[in-house]
Protein backbone atom coordinates (compact mmCIF):
# COMPACT_ATOMS: atom_id res chain seq x y z
CA UNK A 1 0.00 0.00 0.00
CA UNK A 2 1.28 3.47 -0.79
CA UNK A 3 0.51 6.81 0.88
CA UNK A 4 -2.24 7.80 -1.57
CA UNK A 5 -4.05 4.46 -1.12
CA UNK A 6 -3.77 4.73 2.67
CA UNK A 7 -5.09 8.29 2.64
CA UNK A 8 -7.95 7.33 0.31
CA UNK A 9 -9.08 4.71 2.83
CA UNK A 10 -9.10 7.37 5.54
CA UNK A 11 -11.00 9.81 3.32
CA UNK A 12 -13.60 7.15 2.52
CA UNK A 13 -14.08 6.39 6.22
CA UNK A 14 -14.75 10.07 6.96
CA UNK A 15 -17.13 10.48 4.04
CA UNK A 16 -19.11 7.36 5.00
CA UNK A 17 -19.29 8.26 8.69
CA UNK A 18 -21.81 10.40 10.50
CA UNK A 19 -19.00 12.44 12.04
CA UNK A 20 -19.03 16.02 10.81
CA UNK A 21 -15.95 17.70 9.40
CA UNK A 22 -16.24 20.52 11.96
CA UNK A 23 -16.14 17.97 14.80
CA UNK A 24 -13.01 16.32 13.39
CA UNK A 25 -11.37 19.73 13.00
CA UNK A 26 -12.31 20.69 16.56
CA UNK A 27 -10.90 17.46 18.02
CA UNK A 28 -7.67 17.84 16.10
CA UNK A 29 -7.38 21.61 16.50
CA UNK A 30 -6.97 22.17 12.76
CA UNK A 31 -8.76 23.84 9.86
CA UNK A 32 -10.59 21.82 7.17
CA UNK A 33 -7.74 22.48 4.72
CA UNK A 34 -5.43 20.38 6.92
CA UNK A 35 -7.90 17.49 6.73
CA UNK A 36 -8.15 17.77 2.96
CA UNK A 37 -4.32 17.69 2.69
CA UNK A 38 -4.18 14.55 4.85
CA UNK A 39 -6.89 12.88 2.78
CA UNK A 40 -5.23 13.78 -0.50
CA UNK A 41 -1.93 12.24 0.61
CA UNK A 42 0.10 14.69 -1.46
CA UNK A 43 2.83 15.08 1.17
CA UNK A 44 4.68 12.73 3.51
CA UNK A 45 3.29 13.84 6.87
CA UNK A 46 3.96 12.56 10.38
CA UNK A 47 1.92 9.71 11.75
CA UNK A 48 1.11 11.83 14.83
CA UNK A 49 -1.28 13.88 12.70
CA UNK A 50 -2.73 10.79 11.06
CA UNK A 51 -3.24 9.03 14.38
CA UNK A 52 -5.12 12.08 15.69
CA UNK A 53 -7.28 11.99 12.58
CA UNK A 54 -7.96 8.26 12.89
CA UNK A 55 -8.92 8.78 16.55
CA UNK A 56 -11.25 11.63 15.65
CA UNK A 57 -13.01 9.26 13.23
CA UNK A 58 -13.39 6.77 16.11
CA UNK A 59 -11.16 4.23 14.38
CA UNK A 60 -7.84 2.59 15.17
CA UNK A 61 -4.73 1.64 13.17
CA UNK A 62 -4.14 -2.11 12.90
CA UNK A 63 -0.95 -3.79 11.72
CA UNK A 64 -1.40 -7.49 10.96
CA UNK A 65 -0.03 -10.45 9.06
CA UNK A 66 -2.65 -13.18 9.50
CA UNK A 67 -1.03 -14.62 12.61
CA UNK A 68 -0.50 -11.46 14.66
CA UNK A 69 -2.53 -8.30 14.94
CA UNK A 70 -1.49 -5.09 16.69
CA UNK A 71 -3.96 -2.30 17.46
CA UNK A 72 -2.23 1.06 17.74
CA UNK A 73 -3.63 4.10 19.52
CA UNK A 74 -0.91 6.71 19.01
CA UNK A 75 2.21 7.44 17.01
CA UNK A 76 4.59 6.94 19.95
CA UNK A 77 3.25 3.42 20.44
CA UNK A 78 3.87 2.72 16.76
CA UNK A 79 7.66 2.68 17.21
CA UNK A 80 7.40 0.11 20.01
CA UNK A 81 5.13 -2.13 17.95
CA UNK A 82 7.44 -1.99 14.94
CA UNK A 83 10.40 -2.89 17.20
CA UNK A 84 8.42 -5.83 18.61
CA UNK A 85 7.55 -7.09 15.12
CA UNK A 86 11.17 -6.69 13.98
CA UNK A 87 12.39 -8.71 16.95
CA UNK A 88 9.74 -11.42 16.36
CA UNK A 89 11.04 -11.71 12.80
CA UNK A 90 14.61 -11.91 14.16
CA UNK A 91 15.77 -9.03 12.00
CA UNK A 92 18.41 -6.65 13.32
CA UNK A 93 17.96 -2.90 13.16
CA UNK A 94 20.79 -2.72 10.63
CA UNK A 95 19.23 -5.42 8.44
CA UNK A 96 15.86 -3.64 8.55
CA UNK A 97 17.55 -0.38 7.59
CA UNK A 98 19.21 -2.08 4.62
CA UNK A 99 15.98 -3.76 3.48
CA UNK A 100 13.99 -0.52 3.70
CA UNK A 101 16.67 1.73 2.28
CA UNK A 102 16.70 3.90 5.41
CA UNK A 103 19.78 4.73 7.41
CA UNK A 104 20.36 2.75 10.60
CA UNK A 105 19.83 5.80 12.82
CA UNK A 106 16.30 6.25 11.43
CA UNK A 107 15.28 2.80 12.67
CA UNK A 108 16.93 3.42 16.06
CA UNK A 109 15.17 6.78 16.50
CA UNK A 110 11.76 5.35 15.57
CA UNK A 111 12.07 2.38 17.92
CA UNK A 112 13.40 4.47 20.81
CA UNK A 113 10.58 7.01 20.34
CA UNK A 114 13.03 9.82 19.59
CA UNK A 115 11.41 10.44 16.24
CA UNK A 116 7.80 10.46 15.07
CA UNK A 117 7.55 8.21 12.04
CA UNK A 118 6.26 9.56 8.73
CA UNK A 119 3.51 7.81 6.79
CA UNK A 120 5.85 6.67 4.00
CA UNK A 121 8.41 5.31 6.46
CA UNK A 122 5.72 3.45 8.42
CA UNK A 123 4.23 1.89 5.29
CA UNK A 124 7.67 0.82 4.01
CA UNK A 125 8.73 -0.77 7.31
CA UNK A 126 5.41 -2.58 7.71
CA UNK A 127 5.67 -3.93 4.15
CA UNK A 128 9.27 -5.10 4.57
CA UNK A 129 8.30 -6.87 7.80
CA UNK A 130 5.55 -8.75 5.92
CA UNK A 131 2.60 -7.02 7.57
CA UNK A 132 -0.31 -4.98 6.25
CA UNK A 133 -2.05 -1.89 7.57
CA UNK A 134 -5.79 -1.57 8.18
CA UNK A 135 -8.06 0.99 9.75
CA UNK A 136 -10.83 -0.46 11.93
CA UNK A 137 -13.72 0.92 13.93
CA UNK A 138 -12.96 1.05 17.67
Domain contains 99: yes
Q: What is the pLDDT of residues 21-68, one digit of tens each?
A: 899 999 999 999 989 888 999 888 899 889 999 999 999 999 999 899
Query: What is the span of the domain harbouring residue 101?
Result: 66-131
Helix axes 104-111, 93-100, angle to 10 degrees: 120
Q: What is the pLDDT of residues 55-72, one digit of tens each?
A: 999 999 999 998 999 999
Supply the CATH number for residue 79's domain. Answer: 1.10.260.40
Exposure of 100 in the CB half-sphere (CA atoms within 13 A):
25
CB within 8 Å of 74: residues ≥ 6 apart: 48, 51
Domain contains 126: yes
**Total count of domains within the chain:** 2
Amino acid sequence: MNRQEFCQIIADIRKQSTIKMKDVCFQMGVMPTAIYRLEKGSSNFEMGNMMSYIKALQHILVIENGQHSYRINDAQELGSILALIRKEKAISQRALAEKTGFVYSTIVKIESKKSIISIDTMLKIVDVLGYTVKIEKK
